[in-house]
Chains A and B, each alone.
Chain A
Amino acid sequence: MQALYAQLLVGLINGSFYALLSLGLAVIFGMLNIINFAHGALYMMGAFVAYFLLNLGGINYWWALLLAPIIVGIFGMILERTMLQWLTGLDHLYGLLLTFGIALIVQGVFQNYFGSSGLPYAIPDELKGGMNLGFMFLPIYRGWVVVFSLVVCLATWFLIEKTRLGAYLRAATENPTLVRAFGVNVPRMITLTYGLGVGLAALAGVLSAPINQVRPLMGADLIIVVFAVVVIGGMGSIMGSIITGFALGVIEGLTKYFYPEASNTVVFVLMVLVLLVKPTGLTGRAA
C-alpha cells in the first residue's frame, strides 16, 4: 500500500506540472491561435532563472517563485512582439514551426553552457522534511507543490472565467476585431496573455527545480506528454486543462504501480482513444 500511495503522490506532482503547463498552452492557443512549442523551453528557463537568482544573486526560492515567472514572462512578451505577432492570420503550422525553432535555439544555448546533466537546487529550509500521515510518509515540499499548483490553477481559472479582464479575454478569443472596435487595445492584451501563459510555465519550472534538478532538456522531455494532455483535455478549455492535467498525472502514477511497463505510454494510448472517439478532446468545444 505504501508504494501505491507513493506513486499516487508522484502522479499528483506530475499532474501539477501537466496542469500548469497545459493551462498556459490553452490560454495561449485561445488568444493567439498558436500552438506554443516553446513552452517546454520556457518552463526550463523558469527553473534556470531560479538557479541563477539563487547562485548569482543570493535570491531565495520564495522570491524566485515571484521573479522567475515575471522575468521569463517578459522574455516571452518580447518573443511575441518581435516574432509571433507577425503570424496572425496564418496557418497554425507557421506558429508551430516558429515556436519549435525557438525551443531548439533556447535549449541549444543552455545545453552549450550547462551540458545535459542536472544542476542541483536545494529545497528551501521551510519546506524540508516530511510528515507521517499514518498511511504514508509525505515529503513536505511535494505536498506544497501539489497544493500551490492547484491554487494557481484555480486562480487562473477564476481570472479567466469570472472577472471582467477574463471576459475581455474570452471575447477577444472569439472575435478580436469587434473587441478592438469597442475600444480595447487587443494587441496589447495578446502580448500580456502570452506573458501570462509563459509565466505559468516558468512558475512550474521553479516548482520543479528542487524535485527534478535544473536541466536544459527538462522541458523537452515533459512537453511531449503535456501536448498529449492538451489533446485529451481539448484545446481552449481552462477547467478542462486543469482537470485533465491532474487526472492524467494520477493515471500515470497508478499505472506505475499496477503495470509499470505501460507507465510511459498510458497517456499516449489514452490520447489515441480520445482522438478516435471525440477528436475535439474531452472538454473541447466543437469548432
Chain B
Amino acid sequence: MPDTAIAEAPAKAATGGNILQVRNLEAWYGESHILHGISFDVKAGEVVTLLGRNGAGKTTTLKSIMGIIGKRTGSVKFNNQEIIRATSDKIARMGIAFCPEERGIFSSLDVRENLMLPPVVREGGLPLDQIFELFPNLKERLNSQGTKLSGGEQQMLAIARILRTGASFLMLDEPTEGLAPVIIQQIGHTIARLKKEGFTILLVEQNFRFASTVADRYYVVEHGKIIDGFSNAELAANMDKLHTYLGV
C-alpha cells in the first residue's frame, strides 16, 4: 500500500527509556492458561506492533496490560511503576488508553456521548477541533446513535474518544479489521499523525502490510510467548521467517 503521507512522516528515532516494560507476563481466562511468559519493551514515542496468528495471545496481552484479565502474574511496569496488580480504572488513570478489537461503541449513547465518555485522566489530550480534523465524518454524525455508524466510522470513534483523555500510551487492537482499504489508509494516516504528536502506540495487527506502514518495531507472539522481534528496517530481511510464523 503506497502511502506518501506516511513516507513524509519523520521516522523519529525512539527516544527516552522504556515507557512500558513487560516481563514474564502470564494470564489465564478461567482455567485456560493463555499467556506463558510474555516479555517485551516499548519506548516512549514508538509504534510497536504485536504480530501473530489468531489465538496466539496478542489481544490477551493488551487486556492483561490494561488490567482487564482477572488472573495475571509477572511484571508490567508503566513509567517504572508496577501495575500488574492494579485495577483497570487505576491503570487508565495512569495514562494508558485501550481501543478494543470489537470497538466497544455504546448503543445507548449518541456519537457525542461516546466521544466524551472516557474521563480526562491528565492534561495534554487532543482538543476536539483536532480530533474532528482527523475524523471529519464524526463531526457530521454527532447526534447519531453510536451503533448506527458504519464500521469504519465506529473504528474512528473508538480511536477518537481515547485521544481526548490525555493518555499518551495507546493500545489499539486490530484497528483495520474488516475495513475498506480507503478507511485503512485513513487510519494509517492517523497513527502516523499521532506518532508525530508524541503518542506511544502498541498495536495488534493481523495485517502486517498495514503494520509495516506505521510500525517502528515488531514482536511476534506465538502460543502465549514472544518468539521474535525486529525493527522495521529489518523487516525485509525477516520476511521469509515472518511468513512461516504467520502462516501466510
Contact = CB atoms under 8 A, between A and B. Distances in A.
Given A181-B68, A182-B165, A171 B92 contact: no
B106 interface: yes
B41 interface: no
Contacts of A185: 89
Given A171-B106, A173-B108, A174-B108, A186 B68 contact: no
Interface stretch (B51-59, B117-125, B127-135): B117-125
A168 B119 CA distance: 10
B87 A180 contact: yes
B88 interface: yes
B169 interface: no
Contact of A167 (B87, B91, B109, B165): B109
Q: Name the residue among A177, A179, A181, A186 with the largest chain B CB count within 10 angstroms.
A: A181
B68 A174 contact: no
Contacts of B48: none
A273 B137 CA distance: 45
B91 to A, nearest CB: 8
Nearest to B67: A181
B81 interface: no
A178 interface: yes
A175 interface: yes
A171 B117 contact: yes
A264 B68 CA distance: 49
B119 A175 contact: no
Interface residues of B, number: 25
Given A177-B68, A178-B100, A183 B118 contact: yes
Interface residues of A, number: 18
Nearest to A179: B117
B126 interface: no
A164 B107 CA distance: 15
A30 B16 CA distance: 46
Given A170-B106, A171-B109, A175-B104, A181 B116 contact: no
Contacts of B67: 181
Contact of A180 (B89, B97, B108): B89
A184 interface: yes
Given A167-B116, A171-B117, A180 B106 contact: no
B109 A170 contact: yes
B106 A181 contact: no
Interface string B51-84: 0000000000000001110000000000000000
B199 interface: no
B93 interface: yes
B89 A186 contact: yes
Contacts of A164: 116
B177 interface: no
A182 B109 CA distance: 15
B218 interface: no
Contact of B121 (A168, A171, A183): A183
Contacts of B109: 167, 170-171
Contact of A183 (B68, B89, B106): B89
B19 to A, nearest CB: 18
B152 to A, nearest CB: 20
B121 A181 contact: no
Interface string A139-171: 000000000000000000000000010011011
A118 B92 CA distance: 53
B88 A180 contact: yes
B107 A181 contact: no
A30 B100 CA distance: 23
Contacts of A177: 68, 88
Contacts of B219: none
A182 B92 contact: yes
Contacts of A178: 100, 104
B64 to A, nearest CB: 12
A183 B100 CA distance: 15
7 contacts: A167-B117, A175-B104, A180-B89, A181-B98, A182-B162, A182-B165, A183-B89
Interface of B: 66-68, 87-89, 91-93, 97-98, 100, 104, 106-109, 113, 116-119, 121, 162, 165
Given A174-B108, A181-B98, A183-B118, 9 more contacts: A170-B108, A171-B117, A174-B107, A175-B106, A178-B104, A181-B89, A182-B97, A182-B117, A184-B89
